[in-house]
Amino acid sequence: MSVAQVEAVVSSMLTNNAVKIRKQLRPVRVTRITLVPAGQRYDVRFADGSPSGGSFIEDGPYWAIEAEGTFRTCASSCSIYGVGVVIIDDQSGQEQGSAAREPTRPSP
């Protein structure tokens, strides 16, 4: 994937999240894009640069995109946050996960 393709995937995801919760937390803005080699760990840091304790490792090459916007993650409950990192598989272009880079709050 190209940098422009990766940025488009993330921008679309964050825009769709804002539509789902009927609120835009922040305007979409990609702040950093990193192509990570297969098997290499990407450590998630909070927006202030401190370690979050979260990380990602994928079998193939993947993109780590740090951005602002409307993030929404749901498991047993949903959380929203305005600054995060999204992991995109380089081969498929599919989201592999995301993590907050700021405190989260419950989804409305």
pTM summary value: 0.86
Q: What is the mean pLDDT of residues 65-88?
A: 90
Report long-range pairs for 71-77 (Cβ below 8 Å, ≥24 apart): 71/14, 71/17, 71/25, 71/98, 71/100, 72/17, 72/20, 72/21, 72/107, 73/98, 73/100, 74/107, 77/106, 77/107
pLDDT of residue 107: 63
Question: What would the DSSP string read from start to end of 19-44?
Answer: HHHT--SS--EEEEEEEE-TT--EEE
pLDDT of residue 69: 94
Residue 106 has pLDDT above 70, yes or no: no
Gap between the Cα atoms of 92 and 84, Å rounded: 21
